[in-house]
Amino acid sequence: MAVAGASGYAGGELLRLLLAHPDLEVGAVTAAASAGTTLGQHHPNLPALADVVLLPTSPETLAGHDVVALALPHGHGAAVADRLGPHVLVVDMAADHRLTDPAAWEQFYGGEHAGCWPYALPELPHADGSRQRHRLPGLDPVAPRRLAVPGCYPTAVSLALAPGLVEGLLEPVDVVVVAASGTSGAGRGARAQLLGSEVMGSMSPYGVGGGHRHTPEIEQNLALAAGRPVGVSFTPTLAPMPRGILATCTARVVPGTTAAQLREAWSSTYAAEPFVHVLPEGRWPRTADTLGANSVHLQVTLDSRAGRAVVVAAVDNLTKGTAGAAVQATNIALRLPETLGLATSGLAP
């Protein structure tokens, strides 16, 4: 597998996972401004690759690989992918090919919409009883050999709320999500608001008022689960930690819904999913428990006074939220065991 954009956090995480994968090998690694430097200068946690030199990102450098992962900034992947042959499995870890609605892309990202690729959130249940994995190349023989890796927030929020929408227990309006993310979610670029002295000991909101780019992706996923449009108020916050997401998601329940019905819906939906864990009653997700793992931890309860379901999700934004999802979907596309090379256990303490 070639990795374009290997000097960033997402590219580095993908390389870490590939080193432990028995059937995927690291091929060419590329970058833009960092071309000519070694991986050890950017990812000293990967000593096995320390002396590998980053090459310029070009179709010529990426040619000859069975799989190419694009860990590039939003808006840069389509031009590269267009010059790779249809036989190459291309896995885009940016947002370029996630949205089905060109108007939503133009509103939240700007520029021309690059088109939609098969969306790589295998566990997402649909209103018709299917799962998103059945639309991925490998299981769907006519699906193009292209994969759009989900965003980190949409992974947590979509899997948190989908069971209740599929089962008709949640109303598709007045869905409210407040989520906290570690600073690695903003990428590796230097910015004043991400300096340690600005972040340590402080939390702050951003993208307030429906402006975060992941909002239309969350609504797109939840509409697939509900079988109709779903409106979401999404407020992200920046937490003083390097990685991890904790999303608190609430929605009005259909009158008469009980706590037992909620728990049964979530437990049965994910009972056979190796990477989605509904925790025992009374135990709530923590970001620390998902670090380094390709796992989502969930808990659901009923706030009977407010008539709302409360679902909390924890995920590592760099693993299950990005690079782990890329490996998981690649496994499916190559007809390998879906869990191959992916850990379900986090790091502790």
- Which residues are marked as active site? 152
Specify the DSSP class assigned to residue 280.
P
Tokens read off for 271: 């009972």
CA distance 93 to 73: 9
SS3 279: coil
Tokens read off for 108: 């939240």
> Which region holds residue 338: left if phi is over 0, alpha if psi is between -120 and 50, else beta?
alpha
Tokens read off for 331: 């496994």
Residue showing tokens 């060109």: 102
> Which region holds residue 198: left if phi is over 0, alpha if psi is between -120 and 50, else beta?
alpha
DSSP H helices, 215-298, are: 215-226, 259-269
Q: What is the DSSP string of 115-183?
A: ----B--TT-B-TTS-BGGGGSBTTBTTS-SEEEPPPHHHHHHHHHHHHHHHTT-B-SSSEEEEEEE-G
CA distance 93 to 100: 16
Tokens read off for 103: 């108007």
Dmax over CA atoms of the chain, in Å, equals 63
Alpha-carbon distance values, 50 to 12, 17, 333 (Å)? 12, 15, 29
Q: Which residues pair with 314 in a beta bridge?
A: 246, 297
| Closest of 244, 90, 106 to residue 179, by C-alpha | 244
